Amino acid sequence: KSKRRRIKRRDDDRQKRKRGNERRKAGTRAGDGEEDLWGVAEKRERSKRKRQKNKQETSRREKNEEEEVQVTSGKAAKARKNIKNEKTRRMEKEEVEENIEKGKKKYGSAKIGEVKEDGGKQLEKAQEVKKKKHKKVETSSELETSEEDDDEEEDTEKDEVRPECLSPEELEKLKEAVDERKKLIQGLRGKPWSMKKKLVTLRESQEFVEKYEGALGKGKGRKLYAYKVMMTKKWMKFQRDFENFKTACIPWEMKIKEIESHFGSSVASYFIFLRWMYGINMILFCLTFGLVMVPEALMGRPYGSIPRKTVPRAEEASAMDFAVLWDFGGYAQYSVLFYGFYNNQRTIGWLKFRMPLSYFLVGVGTVAYSYMVVIRTMARNANESGVGDDNSFNFSWKMFTSWDYLIGNAETADNKFASITTSFKEAILEEQESHKDDNIHLTRFLRVLANFLVLCCLAGSGYLIYFVVRRSQKFALDGLENHTWWERNEVNMVMSLLGMFCPMLFDVISTLENYHPRVALQWQLGRIFALFLGNLYTFIIALMDEINLKRKEENTVKFNITMWEASLYNGTVSENSTAPPITIQPADVPRGPCWETMVGQEFVRLIISDTMTTYITLLIGDFLRAVLVRFLNYCWCWDLEAGFPSYSEFDVSGNVLGLIFNQGMICVFDQMGSFYAPCLPALNVIRLHVSMYLQCWAVMCCNVPQERVFKASGSNNFYMAMLLVILFLSTLPAIYTIVSIPPSFDCGPFSGKNRMFDVIHETLESDFPAWFSKVFSYASNPGLVLPFILLMVLAIYYLQSTSKSYREANVELKKKLQMQNEENKKKNKQAALKAQMDLEARQTAQAAEQQRNNNASLQDQEGHQMPATRDPGSRTNNHGNHRPSGYLPGFTQQSEPRLSRVPSLQRN
Amino acid sequence: MVSPAIALAFLPLLLTLIIRYRYYFVLFYRAVLIRIWKDCVTGLSREERAYQHVLTHATPGDPDSILEAFDVWCSKVEFISNIGPKKGKILDRLLMENSPLTVLELGAHCGYSTVRMARSLPVGAKLYSIEMDQRNAAIAEKVIRLAGFDDDMVELIVKPSDEVIPQLRSDYNLERLDFVFMDHWKKCYLPDLQLLEGSGLLGKGSIILADNVLFPGAPKFLRYLRKCGLYEWRIHRATLEYSKGIRDGMAELVYQGIK
């Protein structure tokens, strides 16, 4: 503590020196002015106690100081009581300086050490006094506490001053004072004071302004002024409230902030990503819901009107069972949720809503929208990042930027502290190793080994999925009813389990590689990405097989249907030719397998099972574990919380990838999915909504902050890039199915057409004027399309090359700036060196000169007292006097403030 | 019946668990399984076996060689939770820096840490070592004497720590403890610390070093430290003795007294 105090004093001293004479003058002027202003009030209302104290102070000072100083101090004391602005403080400092000088003079050429000792004694005394008076001693310097003392009394005094009974010129002065305060508040940020002092000054000034601002002006003007002031205040408050309101409107903002404060920004970035995803899915959901599902439900033909909208007779008995509904069969299958329900009527309802066209366009639109959003976000993120270079000032960066100021939790702060320390250690080690680089082969070997192991894992899981899919096809051929629930859901189960456990294994393997956690996270993400993608593609390939199977089945069914119709027709003809045609229940009509609905069902099931696994893992792996650890810890032989099982950490990479993977599936379905199951975005929105709350809760309740909390600065774009890739990869099979496979003949909005995109042709032909379709056919002519594509490629190339040149220019500029900085630094250094040399030369010269004077002054020490002067020049000279020739400047600075403190302490 | 494919999908989980917690499995094997087996085979206690090894492999009167023999036995043959060479270095450094005159050790076990501490104490210092278990204390006594430390330097007290601490002032004429080393039951850390505070033996600047605060761990002790504010404290992070992957720490407390 004492050290801190000393440093503070030194700072004060330096301040004093820096601002020289003029401040001093200003100080006295202001002091006088204020004194006049407050003279009136003082006379009226000064309390007795106050006066007493004043007397005490002055008397105490009299003992120590000479008469000349007394006068100033008296002034200062008065002023201090009334005004607390910094100028008074300066005045005090001024006194303090005088005291130093005096002290110096008194002791003459006696050694500084003695002076120090004496000062120390006085300091102790002062502290005793202070303890009696005041409780807050800890950090505030003595000067400030003394002032605070005064402030308290002052406040009581102030309350009694009524602005109404002041004369005009007093008011004028008051106004000036208020203005001054305002100016002070504005310029406070730039003042070279300690934070504490700034805060105190700010608070005081604000109080002052608040109190007297409204009182200014007179009569009508005063009222208007007061009104204006009030309104501005109200307006400011409203603005602040509005800002708060805006923040409150951002969904989950507070939750995410809280998590960020506990777990650092990397975990928070996941939740921000989740929210972003939620927003996008909301829009997708609105598109599909508003343009496809609702119109069909409201205006399309009702359930049971045509065969594709009714449950077939064979399934009717079990169509409402929960098990069937849970598998999205039965009534769920024959509803707006799936592709097969939609009719191929060109327009529906009185609005003439073009359903098939809308269906197609929504599918294309969702994908286009996803792409657009992702690319736009990526571009924006790229602008933000990518400026700093990481390698040049490694340690400085670590030193000054590694603290995460968003952390608001003691444990996380501990972790962060530890992680910064370890990162420093590691960086130092790395630096050493980069010079040695003997271990590089081992690291390389380990990294290759790790990648090899991961590849093995991937291959193994791929094979397992392939095996399972093959088996499930066999089951499907046998008929699903003969098998257990486990066997029927094997594919989904295995996929979810692998998706859950393999990342854990990767995580363990990646410890071999010894990367920085940020890099490790990216590797981890990449690997899980590969895993998920592999799984997804195996799944899709298996689906393709199934689609082909269904199409073969379809052909046979088609043939059967024609036979059936023929027999029906023949039957009616043979029975009675005049009878009305027999009405057949739509449930009895035989129908094709409708592979689109099957695909949709599969994907929906996958998403559901995936979500369930996530939640169940969350509950078992996190919550149950946390509960066990927490409560078993009371009766266990080792510390479960800190040691072996511990609480789980939040797994950023796995969660992020789960999200991305699901989004990819949505988009496969937005072609395959919003195509084949329009309910998918809705399901996803629900899923995201629930998982937002559930994961927020789980994170806060059963996870511990990661051991190495790190900033996830650049990784957001990494997520985006991955999202883009998976979007692209998952649209591929969708586009393939749309382009190459003809839609089923008896279900869905495109039934009866050769290809799904024929819808556009049809619309162009029938809904637009002839010239438009002509123009369109010209435009789609390859002779026009190819040059256009060529032009686009050229434009892209041009833009890319310009951006590259800009980047180069940027780098050049940065280099230039750096050079300039270095040059400046060098110059400054040289100047400083030169000044120091000069100073030293002067000092030695002076010391030599003063040596003689000192000898003389030693003899007549008692009687000799120099007059106290206000000239700073002479003061520095005096300093020079008492400095032994080899004395370091830093030391004198340290000892001086200690002296300077003494008189101000004694006043207390 | 769960299909084999689903069971296979659990393989990565199993692998992960095995790899991640391998040190704990190894520790379990060495500290528990081997111990039980050897106890049955030899009929001696673990400490006695360690003592036999030390007796045959170390030079009498040379603390360093005794410590080394212990280290070899504990890392190669069986496991005993001594302080170990790595954390021992921290202990040595603290003792060298502060050169305490009165030292208290709670939990001598088989004398490893006692020898380690006595080795780096200044001349004229006195070490009181408390061990609850009779058999362990007998072995610790032998080890200490083997290392060449006499009664004036090291005094072994065979009693539970919570009985001894209140009597230290009256029975052993202690005024102040400069250094306390805790390595006994982890559950006793907190009550013993509070006893020490209550007995008034701690002065300003007294150092208390507690081993194994992270594994097996003394959570209540740490929680108390965070709250009470009587100490300046820090945790030296290290690994568990004779094992690489299990993290452990020693808490170093400097008593500040009531401000």
What is the tens place of the pLDDT at every residue in A537-572?
A: 877 787 788 788 888 888 888 888 788 777 776 655
Q: Which residue on chain B is closest to A468 by alpha carbon?
A: B5
Q: What per-residue confidence (pLDDT) applies to B34?
A: 92
Distance between CA atoms of residues A177 and A159, nearest Å: 17
Sheet holding B154-158, edge to edge: B154-158, B126-131, B102-106, B177-182, B202-210, B247-255, B231-239
Please check whether residue A898 is in contact with residue A119, taking contact to mean a CB–CB distance below 8 angstroms: yes
Q: Does B216 sit within 8 Å of A639, measured CB to CB?
A: yes
Question: What does the pLDDT average to over A266-295?
Answer: 85
At A561, which helix (H) or strand (E)? helix A517-575
Mutation site for B-interface testing, chosen from A421, A507, A644 by largest number of B Cβ within 10 Å? A644
Residue that the structure tokens 């020079």 belong to: A880
Question: Which pairing describes strands B247-255 and B231-239: parallel, antiparallel, or unpaired?
Answer: antiparallel
Question: What does the pLDDT average to over A322-346?
Answer: 79
Q: Does B12 sit within 8 Å of A461, measured CB to CB?
A: yes
- Quick one: tokens of A243? 């800002």
Question: What does the pLDDT average to over A577-598?
Answer: 68
Q: Does A467 sit within 8 Å of B19, measured CB to CB?
A: no
Q: Among B131, B192, B241, B248, which one carries the catalytic annotation? A: B241
Mutation site for B-interface testing, chosen from A639, A640, A707, A708 by largest number of B Cβ within 10 Å? A639
**Closest in B9, B15, B246 to A498, CB measured:** B9
Q: Does A498 sit within 8 Å of B13, measured CB to CB?
A: no
- Quick one: tokens of A752? 């009866």
Q: What per-residue confidence (pLDDT) applies to A658?
A: 74
pLDDT band at A675 (very low <50, low <70, confident <90, very high): low
Lowest mean pLDDT among A63-72, A209-218, B81-90, B183-192: A63-72
Q: Does A637 sit within 8 Å of B9, measured CB to CB?
A: no
**Three-state DSSP class for residue A897:** helix
| Greater pLDDT, A868 or A436 | A436
Q: Among B186, B192, B248, B252, which one carries the catalytic annotation? A: B186
Q: Does A501 sit within 8 Å of B12, measured CB to CB?
A: yes
Residue B173: active-site member: no
Q: Which residue on chain B is closest to A494 by alpha carbon?
A: B6
Q: What is the mean pLDDT of chain A?
A: 71
| Side chain identity at residue A791, one-letter code | L
Q: Among B131, B133, B211, B252, which one carries the catalytic annotation? A: B211
Q: What per-residue confidence (pLDDT) applies to A723?
A: 80
| Greater pLDDT, A369 or A532 | A369
Beta bridge partners of B127: B103, B154
Cβ contacts (< 8 Å) between B1 and chain A: which residues?
484, 486
**Three-state DSSP class for residue A350:** coil
CB proximity list for A372: less than 8 A, separation 6 or greater: none
Q: What per-residue confidence (pLDDT) applies to B69?
A: 92
Q: Which residue on chain A is closest to B237 by alpha carbon?
A: A418
Cβ contacts (< 8 Å) between A637 and chain B: which residues?
216
Buried b (16+ CB within 10 A) or exposed e, A890-907: eebbbbbbbbbbbbbbbb
**Closest in A457, A468, A507 to B5, CB measured:** A468
Q: Does A494 sit within 8 Å of B214, measured CB to CB?
A: no
pLDDT above 90 for A27: no
Residue B187: active-site member: no
pLDDT above 60 for A152: no
Q: What per-residue confidence (pLDDT) applies to B103?
A: 92
Residue B192: active-site member: no
pLDDT above 50 for A22: no
What is the ipTM, given to two decimal places?
A: 0.74
Q: Among B87, B131, B178, B212, which one carries the catalytic annotation? A: B212
Count of pairs with CB atoms under 8 A, one residue in A, one in B: 78
pLDDT above 90 for A501: no
Q: What per-residue confidence (pLDDT) applies to A78?
A: 45
Residue B248: active-site member: no
- Quick one: tokens of B95? 């003792």
Q: What per-residue confidence (pLDDT) applies to A388?
A: 52
Question: What does the pLDDT average to over A126-138?
Answer: 45
**Closest in B2, B10, B19 to A501, CB measured:** B10
pLDDT band at A893 (very low <50, low <70, confident <90, very high): very low
pLDDT band at A288 (very low <50, low <70, confident <90, very high): confident
Q: What are phi and psi of B255, to 5 degrees?
A: -70, 130
Q: What per-residue confidence (pLDDT) applies to A380?
A: 83
Question: What does the pLDDT average to over A434-455?
Answer: 80
> Where are the domains positioned within chain B?
4-62+71-75, 83-255
Cβ contacts (< 8 Å) between A642 and chain B: which residues?
214-215, 217, 219
Lowest mean pLDDT among A257-261, A683-687, B159-163: A257-261
Q: What per-residue confidence (pLDDT) applies to B41?
A: 92
Tell me the shortest Cα–Cα distance from A456 to chain B, in angstroms: 12
Report chain A residues touching chain B, CB-CB < 8 A: 418, 457, 461, 464, 467-468, 471, 484, 486-487, 490, 493-494, 497-498, 500-502, 504-505, 507-509, 633, 637-639, 641-644
Q: What per-residue confidence (pLDDT) applies to A704?
A: 77
Q: What is the pTM of this model?
A: 0.63
The ranges of chain B with pLDDT < 70 are: 1-2, 259
Beta bridge partners of B207: B179, B254
CATH node for B83-255 = 3.40.50.150
